[in-house]
Amino acid sequence: MKIAFQNENVTLWHGDCREWSGKADACITDPPYGHGWRGVASSSPGGRNWTRRSAVAIVGTDEPFNPRPWLAFKSVVMWGANHYASRLPDSPAWLVWDKREGTADNNLSDCELAWCNVGGSARLIGHMWNGLCRASEVGEHLHPTQKPIVVMAWCMEKAKVPDGATVLDPFCGSGTTLIAALETGRKAIGIEIDERWVTVARQRLERWHAQGRLDFGTANAEPHTGAVAPSVQALVGNSGSGEA
């Protein structure tokens, strides 16, 4: 493993997360879980389409995921856990992300599910993320399984991760969890095995470090007008989260 980016609040590692031996307060991640998604370039307006069984593999997506090494943390959130729920302890505190918000079905899921080890009730966040239709990060199509920063920040809130705590994402992809941690006053450690996503995550961290925050541009934002986009905290506060 080698460090791809580091400052006082965040470290991005390039390597196999199974070789990591550090410390963190929480593990919040969207791991590869054998779903077989692979990305290919396209001429679509968004710049990329993502189809099954195409030419460029996402590392680990064709292998059964073993969540056990990541269950020892005080706070754990794992997305896609409905695909490997039989390998997880029972929990009442599942997290649900409604990414359609009442719009028509398509060939992808209406929502995504995350397992959480913190007690309480199931919780729901509504945040539009349907192809080119997005409530935030408009035009930021970086990764085939990319999550909104506001959703990952919401996970930290629901998993009761304290301010200033260190959040680990062992499958950090394009670095969304890391940015969410920084935006909400936490520290972060990210690990990614695929050099393509390490490059993207490093660029996002460099941009955040230079600006102090990212522009999350909502669907109603007007680029190039100088208007300031809402913060992640504001988006989490207006997300319509509640009990499921």
Query: Cα 166 vs. chain centroid, distance in angstroms?
Result: 16
pLDDT, the chain, mean: 81
What is residue 63's predicted lDDT score, i.e. its pLDDT?
72
For residues 195-219, give the mean pLDDT.
79
pLDDT-based confidence at residue 224 (cuts at 50, 70, 90) = very low
Residue 202's alpha-carbon distances to 151, 192, 207, 217, in angstroms, are: 20, 11, 9, 20
For residues 38-66, give the mean pLDDT.
53
What is residue 159's predicted lDDT score, i.e. its pLDDT?
96
For residues 46-64, give the mean pLDDT.
53
Residue 226: pLDDT over 80:
no
Residue 122: pLDDT over 60:
yes
Answer with the residue of higher pLDDT: 130 or 90: 90
What is residue 243's predicted lDDT score, i.e. its pLDDT?
41
For residues 22-46, give the mean pLDDT.
71
Residue 91's alpha-carbon distances to 62, 83, 112, 202, 228, in angstroms, are: 26, 15, 16, 34, 39
Tokens 């779903």 identify what position? 35
At 102, which amino acid appears? G
Phi, psi (deg, nearest 5) at residue 154:
-60, -40
C-alpha to C-alpha distance for 164 and 178, rounded to whole angstroms = 13
Q: What class has domain 2-243? A: alpha beta
Q: Cα–Cα–Cα angle for 241, 102, 180, nearest 5°?
A: 40
C-alpha to C-alpha distance for 155 and 144, rounded to whole angstroms = 20
What is residue 91's predicted lDDT score, i.e. its pLDDT?
96
